[in-house]
Amino acid sequence: MDNNKKKTIILIGRSSAGKTTMCQYIGRESLRYKKTQTVEVVNQTMIDTPGEYLERNCYRGALQVSSTDADVIVLVQDATEDGSMFPPAYASSFSKPVIGVVTKSDIADERQIERAVLYLKNAGAKDIFITSSVNGSGFEGLLKYLDYE
Ligand SMILES: Nc1nc2c(ncn2[C@@H]2O[C@H](COP(=O)(O)OP(=O)(O)O)[C@@H](O)[C@H]2O)c(=O)[nH]1
Ligand SMILES: [Mg+2]
């Protein structure tokens, strides 16, 4: 199995946005799709970051440094959050593809999901995936994009 093909991602989003849960979900799914894969190897392709890195200005540089190890920047937006931590055109501060993931679609209504998509678009995310780590929806497209399946 060719693990080199898999894109390494860095997950950026505020505390409790669902970054760690998403990592765990993707880890399990990748295991299911590729049975020879160990969880450890899968997790080596994902860089989880503390929400404080985004929430506190003095830490934002750390995200830029951490992102040098990633192929794709993933901005993680909680669908139920009223507001967003991502500044407009935030994506342009990275010289790499930036995608958006909306989390918690299982407990959000249509309007909240649309709002979250808009936050991510304003931040400059190109492709946006609407997911739930609880019921597993929306991961098919994301995993395909990242060459995880
Ligand atoms: N309903 C629902 N809850 C979620 C989802 N993803 C994460 N959570 C919950 O949101 C909380 C914060 O998640 P966590 O992954 O720790 O966020 P992080 O701070 O971004 O790493 C936890 O209680 C999770 O169980 C989801 O897709 N749906
Ligand atoms: Mg976390």
Q: What is the CATH number of the domain that holds 96?
A: 3.40.50.300
| Cα 33 versus chain centre, distance | 19
- The pair of structure tokens assigned to 40 is 């450890």
- The pair of structure tokens assigned to 63 is 């995200």
State the total domains in the chain.
Answer: 1
> Ligand 1 test: best mutation among 12, 19, 21, most atoms within 8 Å of CB?
21
* Residue 50 clears pLDDT 90, i.e. is over it: no
Report how far ligand 1's centroid is from the alpha carbon of 130 (Å).
14
What pLDDT band is residue 116 in, cutting at 50, 70 and 90? very high
Average pLDDT over residues 79-100: 96
To the nearest whole number, what is the mean pLDDT of the chain?
Answer: 86
- The pair of structure tokens assigned to 123 is 């931040």
- The pair of structure tokens assigned to 110 is 């249509």
Q: What is the number of the ligand 1 atom nearest to the C-alpha of 107? A: 1
Q: What is the number of the ligand 1 atom nearest to the C-alpha of 13? A: 20
Report how far ligand 2's centroid is from the alpha carbon of 115 (Å).
23
Range of the domain at 69: 3-145
Judge if the beta carbon of residue 19 lies within 6 A of ligand 1: yes
Identify whether the C-beta of residue 74 lies closer than 8 Å to the C-beta of residue 145. no
Report how far ligand 2's centroid is from the alpha carbon of 23 (Å).
9
46-48 and 128-130: which strand pairing?
unpaired
